[in-house]
Structure 1
Amino acid sequence: MVPGYHRPAVVKVNLGAIRRNIKNEMKHLATGQKMLAVVKANAYGHGAVEVAKIAIEEGAAGLCVAILDEALQLRHADIVKPILVLGVVSPEYAPIAAANNVSLTIPNLEWLKETEKYLEKEHLQLKVHIGVDSGMGRIGFNEDADFVAANEFLQDNDNFYVEGMFAHFASADSADDTYFKHQVKKFAHMRSLLTVKPQWIHVDNTAASIFDKNIPSDCVRFGIGIYGLNPSSNPSSPDLKSSIPLEPAMSFESELTHVKMIHQGDGVGYGSTFVADQDTIIGTVPVGYADGFIRKFQGFKVKVGDEYCPIVGRICMDQFMVKMPKKMPLGTKVVIISNDPTAPNNIKAAADYVDTIHYEVACLLNDRLPRVYYEK
């Protein structure tokens, strides 16, 4: 989408908060452990290039993304640190990754064999990380025979440089560690079958690190923690206590573009799901579900000036309406999502309201909303 630079609606990102979150995790790392900063999905909606540069300044050894294009975006921004693509990249694009010094994940033996053909044709060597499915059920090796065969295939194979081996925890953010321990055991078993020698073996994610799971891991893939958010955040359970301070970096702000009085019997929005029972002051905010602020937020209270006002009527594609206790001037600031974790419209409260997690709320805010960066 085209960014709306001529509309009063922005996502503000405090790079100072991001810097402090990274500093706190760097201090928390075990001796010799490194950080891989996860900046996939436009750094969880915060801005990949800007966050990556802060992470590198603060000592991150490398970066992780989800798709090859995200890695190329960072390379085009003159970022030279190691970059790992965590998802599956089609073998035909492996030469592009190799030419840009981008590491790819090996999901299975078939991928390795097919990728080799493209690399040989271009006379290129590709850096790879062996993906292990220790219980997430997504990608990677979960059978001993296939894993051993892949190791044999990679042994003395000049088309590949084995930079790493990794897995991802499904429940490191849960108070119940039963399945977490199952995954740890599975990964340790697969590690015992290794015959190639990766530079980095990494399994720690934000949750495993800040909840002190104490798992051997050369690197911590630090993701949601960069943005000051607790990975255990869930509508159905309280957050687990983090061993490092976390400072939310994102706020979502707009302003009133229209204010009017409606009267008894007047409806608001599609389907008239709100009908005034008396004279009511309605304000309009120029943000809608096309920006990633979904219709389920109807009823959520946003801060208009100094007042918390409920969203009334269905959220439209490009606008939503609020019920206000008094008339306020056009241009009055509207904080839709606050970066103050104690505010009633903080990102966890917003996620709880629509029965999801803050990861999703942040990632949904798309590029029609310009990012405004400041350091405080």
Structure 2
Amino acid sequence: MPRRPEADRDSTTPRAATIRDVASRAGVSVATVSRVLTGNYPVASATRTKVLRAVRELDYVVNAHARALAGNRSKMIAVLLSNLTSPFYNRVASGVEQQAMAEDRLCMVSTTGGDPEREVKLVETLREQNVDAVVLVGGVVDSPEYRDHMARLARLLDSAGSRLVICGRPSPGENLPVTVVEYDNAGGAFAATSHLLSQGHRRILFIGGDEANTTTRDRLDGYRRAIQAYGIEADPALVIVGNQLPPFAYAELKKRLAAGPPDFTAVFAWDDHIAARTLVALRESGVSVPDQVSVIGYNDEQEAQDLYPALTTVSIPHMELGREAVRLALHRDEAAAPNQHVVLGTHIVMRDSVRPLINR
């Protein structure tokens, strides 16, 4: 069917204003309007006022896709999570979204499924979209290949005027154009283990986590350093790692308890979800918490205070991690060095799942 002449089209549908319409209304050139809207070049105050007034009167909306194609920023922050079900990821992402909104940016969330290759491909795609920053959240299996990939992506994003932000994991290397926002993961584990040791516990079981993962690696480091600081010989049999999912820890603990009475007086769980399943496994095996075995978790999830007994745990500044990631990425020009590295503190939240060991 031939196209209808312009005059025959539905006249009730208003035509969207164009940048030429704005220029005509303001009495300036199209280039001047573009400079005002992008903020790339200085424009006289009176001229800027005329252009912005014309924008409001015509209800002109900037075509963000066209701006991206032209090489301008998309005013978008992308955050990549391993999954959407973990409260840890959700709370950090909420911090990213809050600060993105405060900085007049949109926030886009995508998931990697824990697949390093998918993570790399997503970052490459986002670079083409001219996003202001790409925020990677959570631990990762560290390897030379991973570091090489991240170093390359950091440089590619930087060359495009964007920024790679590593949130909640170590930096992929030194002297890279990357923003790193961590929490004191190993320090929190050191504090948790030291707290149990100060209560008289000497046989402390560490359970959960994949030892190849950076999060597990740091927590084990803190756990082992605390035991060494107390002059206690470490027992490899008191470390159960291999998987960071609660069913793994539950099954391993049930198997251990089925073999005989607990050969430990306290448990340091990799996170609060594993701590929750630890409480179940101990209860089902007739072991009282904290009368016979104390339990401490990590993350301070919402449900930690609702468990029975209420869980003593390590608190992470989830929201501040996300907010700081966006703040630093968008204001990196204010920093003296091309790389930014911030470590936020952790602290123990005392509840009811830890008790002093009576027979010291």
**TM bracket, shorter-chain basis:** under 0.3
TM-score, structure 1 length as denominator? 0.24
Structure with the bigger percentage of strand: 1
Quick check: which one's helix share is greater? 2
Structure whose alpha-carbon radius of gyration is higher:
2
TM-score normalised by length of structure 2: 0.25
Higher relative contact order (CA 8 A, sep 6+): 1
